[in-house]
Amino acid sequence: MGNRERTGVWIAGALGDIATTVRVGAAALGRGLAPHTGLVSALPPMDRLDLLPFDALVFGGCDIHPGNPVEAAEAVCRRSRTYSPDLLDAVREDLMASAADYSVDPDMAWDVSRPQPGLPPLEMLVERVRDRLRRFAANHGLGRVVVVNLISVETLPAEIDGHRDLEAFEALLAADRKDQVTPSMVYAYAALREGCPHVNFTPCAGASIPALQGLAEQVGVPHCGNDGKTGETLLKTALAPMFAARHLRVMSWEGFNLLGNEDGRSLADPGRRAGKLRNKGRVLEEVLGYAPHGDVAIHYVPSLGDWKTAWDLVHFAGFLDVPMTLQLTWQGSDSILAAPLVLDLVRFADFAARRGESGLMPHLASFFKDPMGTREHALWSQFQALLRYTERHLRAAG
Amino acid sequence: MGNRERTGVWIAGALGDIATTVRVGAAALGRGLAPHTGLVSALPPMDRLDLLPFDALVFGGCDIHPGNPVEAAEAVCRRSRTYSPDLLDAVREDLMASAADYSVDPDMAWDVSRPQPGLPPLEMLVERVRDRLRRFAANHGLGRVVVVNLISVETLPAEIDGHRDLEAFEALLAADRKDQVTPSMVYAYAALREGCPHVNFTPCAGASIPALQGLAEQVGVPHCGNDGKTGETLLKTALAPMFAARHLRVMSWEGFNLLGNEDGRSLADPGRRAGKLRNKGRVLEEVLGYAPHGDVAIHYVPSLGDWKTAWDLVHFAGFLDVPMTLQLTWQGSDSILAAPLVLDLVRFADFAARRGESGLMPHLASFFKDPMGTREHALWSQFQALLRYTERHLRAAG
Amino acid sequence: MGNRERTGVWIAGALGDIATTVRVGAAALGRGLAPHTGLVSALPPMDRLDLLPFDALVFGGCDIHPGNPVEAAEAVCRRSRTYSPDLLDAVREDLMASAADYSVDPDMAWDVSRPQPGLPPLEMLVERVRDRLRRFAANHGLGRVVVVNLISVETLPAEIDGHRDLEAFEALLAADRKDQVTPSMVYAYAALREGCPHVNFTPCAGASIPALQGLAEQVGVPHCGNDGKTGETLLKTALAPMFAARHLRVMSWEGFNLLGNEDGRSLADPGRRAGKLRNKGRVLEEVLGYAPHGDVAIHYVPSLGDWKTAWDLVHFAGFLDVPMTLQLTWQGSDSILAAPLVLDLVRFADFAARRGESGLMPHLASFFKDPMGTREHALWSQFQALLRYTERHLRAAG
Amino acid sequence: MGNRERTGVWIAGALGDIATTVRVGAAALGRGLAPHTGLVSALPPMDRLDLLPFDALVFGGCDIHPGNPVEAAEAVCRRSRTYSPDLLDAVREDLMASAADYSVDPDMAWDVSRPQPGLPPLEMLVERVRDRLRRFAANHGLGRVVVVNLISVETLPAEIDGHRDLEAFEALLAADRKDQVTPSMVYAYAALREGCPHVNFTPCAGASIPALQGLAEQVGVPHCGNDGKTGETLLKTALAPMFAARHLRVMSWEGFNLLGNEDGRSLADPGRRAGKLRNKGRVLEEVLGYAPHGDVAIHYVPSLGDWKTAWDLVHFAGFLDVPMTLQLTWQGSDSILAAPLVLDLVRFADFAARRGESGLMPHLASFFKDPMGTREHALWSQFQALLRYTERHLRAAG
């Protein structure tokens, strides 16, 4: 590495399965022990951008559950049938070295819909996060820290005026309104106030209220989200354009999602599920130009663990209104699907920040179920935007 | 219609299920009895091009089996559970009116791999087709006749020099080499020699040998094909780009096709199946940049009739080389999927011919499994080419 | 028929899709126009029992919606893509002839969970049904009338003492407690009081409260139900024994049901869905001896119409606790699956009644999701019970 | 173990994936480290029979490929994602201890359809196997050795007279007719001649020619097979009876099998595949009483490794001949499905031998695709035979 600059990756929800897979994967990539499979940033022509190498990433973060990255990685390895024990052994030392940069904070878990007495006031919680970010950067002499939100789904507060502009939002903080301010908002606000690029990979739409979008512009850092597009919605945004381009009329698109991980447990709560479903529902209408019948069911099936399974039935009308069907079954490890996208987003956010770009990063729309700054949902169009962005920078770098 | 110009649609294989559904559907559209579902040419912005209205199409053709369009339409209605008896009743008169323009010619069914004695020489067969085209145009005062190939799959001859240029090909005709010249070549040659735009919707790649491509350029008419993209391959060209864009490594893409119609029966013959599979196999390699393992099985399952069912298993590696799977089941009526695309191609070929365009029509690539004149297989990119073509013409028409 | 005795089939819910398909199918069978496919009673050795021929059945019934059997049959034919218009034409006359035996009674549609003022008192409603049954039998000189319940799912009242014995139940009738007595109970009570065998094909468990079971024994007529086993549960009771016999441990059995018919619309109501799900849930525990994780989702998908689609995921552990999966997709017409079972049950109930058998008919368990009088759910064991019953009677008839 | 008697398990194909999983599983069971999941012999009431405990089994065998049980177990663990490295570590010592009882013999791999010069004569090969069995028993003081055939699929010779009776078969051995005698026949003949119970778990039908069935009776030992029923056929024999019991007419039952293991590689050879498909095809006809259309495709898909995937489409006609469909997708580890059945068969064969039973063991039919000694294929009826056998022995032991 020599005197090469390093960038921090500070994760909220740092001991969850996705964050743990990000950590193990980054270490394996840094040591040349893993292929680039799954990494969009490693595809041509993106691989010719001056993106951070994986061994220049320094990891830290906090979680509401106790633990450390080594224990978390062992637990995932044992439970999930994803990466091998051998791979874990090969990076165990790297994980141990960063244990000191992981903190536990059970206070960051309130739900806006239920009163939880005894928590510190919001402004103190904001300050706590900012302090952690400052110390993390200082300890490692980091030029930049990208903050990534990977916490569990949270209940979305009603849309209220206090979310519209920064002044009103800061009033909510000052008034300690935990019924209107979510943990995600606190992380995002703290990150942006510290000048850290912010990536919201969760369905917690609170992180992207207008007040925080405005703050990102004002502070001049990248701010992107929401909700990593890893499975059923990825398929929808690849396939719905096919139906549109063939003038096939989608009558119903029913989805059935089975999840066995922490995410699935959270989504068993109707309040939390609402936000997730909102993101999933909007996609078809935007791509097709009309809203077919379409319910999405989410069941928590513990035996599946990290291996989510989704079945979709597309019932569509063809020529002379004859009904036909397509069925899809997607079986994938949630963490393995998500982790490389998180690394991609960190690299792209760092790249943008280095070039002084700020705001909602619509060229990263293909990574999200509900991308900020664009209403384009068709996967292919989203991906073209990334290619165009890349080519523009490659030309500029000449 | 008044003195409005009409265009002929002359179909080789005119009494097959697809041709029959084309005929019924065009009549229903012409009478305003069917919606535009399934018609790409009716999507914006293509619907603003000066394309032929459906009631300006006059149908004729020939088939190797005896019959007439009314009987064929009744048989399809009874067997296929697609269009309703009521719809058939509403257009029966139109079909009857065109019965005289359908001829039966059992001679056009030889197989290059097996000697069939007693057929007329090739040059006579060519002349017979040309004569039918001339009479069809003359009888109805047609300004243009588009020839569409919808015959059953035929055995592909070996690639030989005589297919490379026109002079050599005409020598094969003169020498009556039925071991090297297929019925499709005869139809295509006759059509092009008569100055008719030619659409090859079948997998019979013989229709697109270099000699005939050259003839289309020389004569100055559109010539497009091969092999309508209606099911499994349509899905592949929509989904393979998704795997590519996510850097997911497709290890195996296995396909299982069940067909119960005449097409299925023909494909039970290994010689005929070869051409079909060649088209299907090439797609993944072109889109992904590498060739995953992938066998495609085709079974003839009579009970399914026109309702083809395809099951695909995509076995792919994600981050850290973890294997995951996607399964697809596509259940659709072959005729209903194909018929509107045939009508689209007729309209686009007529449009191009009216504007003096000739040759391989790469803007129509999205309609074909193995499009001539381009190696682009990704559905979305192919569709963009059609949009660009359309917008160019709309601007020109301004 | 000569002086051969005929039996009446009086259906509650007589204009629904299942009842209509029963009617059309029985007429077609009576005229020798339909094969015996789907009829268990036509399988050897049951076909050697002295069961009623189909042309000895006389149909009547009532419905809460206006209409007549001919209109209903036309509507099903148009919407459902099941039987052909030709078949309908061939039996239209038979349906017309029985129109006078169909009555409309919108009063029989209250919901125990919501007060509906203005209805006649329960005892009057009971008398109204009994009067209809008497007149139906008298008009046609019927020796016996089998009453079949095919109404929409109703909300189940709480389990209360008044359902336990006949005296208490009759007190509920006298007190006009429409919050505790359902329409199904009224139909069943009226039928049994008239000495009519009673078949409950619906999930309305009210028809089988202990008070009514006791009445059936007392009156000495067959009384069987509940909830025809036509799709997902049929598969479960065929497949769960396989897992048990192989000592494979079912961890989760998740079901996703998509229905587009009236039944689906009713089940969208959570109160009504509860009863249905209760029947479905019990099956696995009874067959496996333990309760795996297993949620069943039911979505109303109007575009599917009568064609219900169910997807099941079975996640099971094998040797060394290795997880494996089975997926099932069942696509069938609800009416076509149910109708022959209704005819079978009518024939078996009539047969039993003729021989003086009464009560819960456990030999008919294979027809029901929640069979009365037995806890046996494994399909094969249930079917053996029918075979043993049949062989016993054949020997007796010897 | 004290002076408790022990039984040998001598496996032909001892280093294959199934045999290796048998070995690891038996060791884990012997040490109390694995649950009884997957073991039919551990289900009530079979668990009350006096079956051998797992720690009374002593393993040996031979293979055509070099290796030893420890290396084989490590390779399976690495490749297959089935048992964990921890479990392997816990039994490694047991596997090492038996390494001396595994021999390598590349001579036992000829194919009857192709001449392979230079092999020792058949009688010498027979004697070699017999000698190994004698030394294995002597070295460990074994009272009994059960021989299990787990070799790769072999090409079936034509049915010839020399397979009909023992004298003629011994003449083929004497004449060294390797075009008519397969390796499986040599293993089976040697085992039976040594008085060893013989279990043929492979599709190699040669092991069960009449000559060898006769020898088993004559020698007085159990002899059972063929072809372990672990996946698609298991489902067929559970589900086809459901269609039969409902009088649903199966029109087509199409199967698509994807295999990535050694078995899959062997089945890519058309000669070898023939025997396998024969077993699979017969099942439906026997259960249904008629033969529906039904092709079974087998593709070798290396990326799947031991995880075989089967997709079945059942196209069936219901009432009024309306077509409907069932689809099945089975995803399981071949070794994990097969290994416990092998252990069950060893225990049941040993149990029968101890009681002086001999011949074809029809009570074990449920374990085989093509059971010897019975034409019963319905899973449930087969399983009842095992229950009756068990109960008879329990009463006798009573």
Q: How many CA atoms lie within 13 A of A290 on its CB side?
A: 10
CA distance B72 to B225: 25
| Residue C359: per-residue pLDDT | 92
CA distance A94 to B238: 40
Identify the CA nearest to D256 among candidates D292, D294, D308, D296: D296
Amino acid at C152: S
CA torsion through residues B146, B149, B150, B151, sign: positive
Is the Cβ of B297 closer than 8 Å to some Cβ of chain D? Answer: yes
- Find the angle CA(B237)-CA(B239)-CA(B244) to the nearest 5 degrees: 100
Q: Give Cβ neighbours of residue D114 (< 8 Å, ≥ 6 apart).
A: none
Q: What are phi and psi of C93, to 5 degrees?
A: -60, -45
Q: Which residues of D touch C330 (CB under 8 A)?
A: 325-326
* Cis omega (within 30 of 0) for bond into D68: no
Average pLDDT over residues B70-89: 92
Q: Which residues of C touch A313 (CB under 8 A)?
A: 258, 309, 311
Q: Which residues of B touch A332 (CB under 8 A)?
A: 318, 324-325
Give the distance from residue D299's alpha carbon to the nearest chain B alpha carbon, in angstroms.
8
CA distance A65 to A63: 5
Q: pLDDT-derived band of residue D3, with 50, 70 and 90 as boundaries?
A: very low
Residue C226 has pLDDT above 80, yes or no: yes
CA distance D325 to C301: 19
* Cis omega (within 30 of 0) for bond into A45: yes
| Residue A223: per-residue pLDDT | 96
* DSSP assignment string, D363-377: GGGGGBSS-TT----
**A302/C258 CB distance under 8 A:** no
Per-residue pLDDT reduced to its tens digit, C113-122 = 887 889 999 9
Q: Which of A245, A319, A337 lies closest to B336 in CB terms?
A: A319
The predicted complex's ipTM stands at: 0.96
Per-residue pLDDT reduced to its tens digit, B187-208 = 999 999 999 999 999 998 888 8
Task: Go through D19-35 and write b for each residue having 16 or more CB atoms within 10 A of its CB, e for each that does not.
Answer: bbbbbbbbbbbbeeebb
Identify the CA nearest to A372 among candidates A221, A237, A235, A205: A205
CB pairs under 8 A between A and C: 61
| Residue D30: per-residue pLDDT | 96
DSSP β-bridge partners for residue B329: A327, B311
Contact between C228 and C19 under an 8 Å Cβ cutoff? The reply is no
Q: pLDDT-derived band of residue C130, with 50, 70 and 90 as boundaries?
A: very high
Q: pLDDT-derived band of residue C11, with 50, 70 and 90 as boundaries?
A: very high
CA dihedral D130, D133, D136, D139 (to 10 degrees): -60
* Cis omega (within 30 of 0) for bond into C53: no
Residue D49 has pLDDT above 70, yes or no: yes
Q: pLDDT-derived band of residue C3, with 50, 70 and 90 as boundaries?
A: very low
CA distance A337 to A386: 19
CA distance D127 to D190: 7
CB pairs under 8 A between B and C: 3
Angstrom CA distances, B338 to B39, B150, B272, B368, C100, stand at 10, 10, 20, 11, 48
CA distance D389 to C150: 44
Average pLDDT over residues C304-308: 93
User: What average pLDDT is seen over chain C?
Assistant: 93
Give the distance from residue C175's alpha carbon to the nearest chain D alpha carbon, in angstroms.
44
Q: pLDDT-derived band of residue D1, with 50, 70 and 90 as boundaries?
A: very low
Q: C-contacting residues of D 172-231, CB under 8 Å? A: none
Q: How many CA atoms lie within 13 A of C253 on its CB side?
A: 22
CA distance C262 to B150: 42
CA dihedral C124, C126, C127, C131 (to 10 degrees): 140
Q: Which of D81, D85, D329 lies closest to A85 in CB terms?
A: D85
Amino acid at A73: A
Place of tokens 């079972």: C341
Q: D-contacting residues of B 97-136, CB under 8 Å? A: none
Q: What is the largest CA-CA distance in chain C?
A: 68
Amino acid at B14: A
Q: What is the largest CA-CA distance in chain B?
A: 68
**3-state SS class at B12:** strand
Strand D307-317 vs strand D57-63: parallel, antiparallel, or unpaired? unpaired
Helix (H) or strand (E) holding B333: strand B323-333
Average pLDDT over residues D277-297: 86
Contact between B34 and B28 under an 8 Å Cβ cutoff? The reply is yes
Task: Go through A19-41 and write b for each residue having 16 or more CB atoms within 10 A of its CB, e for each that does not.
Answer: bbbbbbbbbbbbeeebbbbbbbb
Q: Which of B247, B333, B339 lies closest to A38 in CB terms?
A: B247
Per-residue pLDDT reduced to its tens digit, D83-113 = 988 899 999 999 999 999 999 999 999 999 9
**B340/A322 CB distance under 8 A:** no
Average pLDDT over residues B147-157: 93
Q: Give Cβ neighbours of residue D138 (< 8 Å, ≥ 6 apart).
A: none
- Find the angle CA(C263)-CA(C268)-CA(C271) to the nearest 5 degrees: 100
Per-residue pLDDT reduced to its tens digit, D188-247 = 999 999 999 999 999 988 888 999 999 999 999 999 999 999 989 999 999 999 999 999
| Residue D4: per-residue pLDDT | 64
Q: Which residues of A touch C293 (CB under 8 A)?
A: 301-303
Angstrom CA distances, D122 to C378, D171, D180, D184, stand at 50, 11, 11, 12
DSSP β-bridge partners for residue D60: D10
Identify the CA nearest to D197 among candidates D209, D205, D188: D188
Angstrom CA distances, C82 to B161, C76, C86, C258, D211, stand at 55, 8, 12, 18, 54
Higher-pLDDT residue of D273 and C388 is C388
Identify the CA nearest to C340 among candidates C106, C23, C38, C112: C38
Q: Which residue of C has its CA nearest to B327?
A: C327
Token pair of B163, please? 């297919």
Q: Give Cβ neighbours of residue B180 (< 8 Å, ≥ 6 apart).
A: B112, B157, B158, B160, B162, B163, B172
CA distance C327 to C253: 10
Q: Which residue of B has its CA nearest to D253?
A: B301
Contact between A227 and A209 under an 8 Å Cβ cutoff? The reply is no
Q: Spell out, as residue ranges, where chain A has pLDDT lower than 70.
A: 1-4, 275, 279-280
Token pair of D192, please? 């039976």
Average pLDDT over residues B346-360: 96
Is the Cβ of D366 closer than 8 Å to some Cβ of chain C? Answer: yes
What angle do helix axes D17-30 and D69-80 make, rounded to 10 degrees? 100
Amino acid at D173: L
DSSP β-bridge partners for residue C330: C310, D326
Q: What percent of chain B has pLDDT over 90?
A: 83
CA dihedral C219, C221, C226, C230 (to 10 degrees): -170
Per-residue pLDDT reduced to its tens digit, B32-41 = 999 999 999 9
Give the distance from residue D96's alpha carbon to the nearest chain C alpha carbon, in angstroms.
20
Token pair of A307, please? 């291996």
Higher-pLDDT residue of B205 and C56 is C56
| Residue A159: per-residue pLDDT | 79
**D380/C245 CB distance under 8 A:** yes
**C309/A304 CB distance under 8 A:** no
Count CB neighbours of D214 within 10 A.
18
Q: pLDDT-derived band of residue C49, with 50, 70 and 90 as boundaries?
A: very high
Angular region, D32: left φ>0, alpha ψ -120 to 50, beta rest: left
| Residue C4: per-residue pLDDT | 63
CA distance B348 to C115: 63
CA distance D82 to D307: 9
Token pair of D128, please? 């070699």
Angstrom CA distances, C51 to B131, C55, C299, C339, stand at 67, 12, 39, 17
Q: Which of C302, C315, C329 lies closest to A304 in CB terms?
A: C315
Q: Which residues of A touch B246 (CB under 8 A)?
A: 38, 40, 234
Q: pLDDT-derived band of residue C81, with 50, 70 and 90 as boundaries?
A: confident
Token pair of D255, please? 């199967």
User: What average pLDDT is seen over chain B?
Assistant: 93
Q: pLDDT-derived band of residue B4, with 50, 70 and 90 as boundaries?
A: low
Angstrom CA distances, A8 to A128, A222, B249, C329, stand at 18, 15, 29, 48
Q: pLDDT-derived band of residue D2, with 50, 70 and 90 as boundaries?
A: very low
| Residue B1: per-residue pLDDT | 37
* 3-state DSSP percent of chain A in helix, strand and coil, to 5: 50, 20, 35
CA distance A391 to C398: 89
**C256/A304 CB distance under 8 A:** no
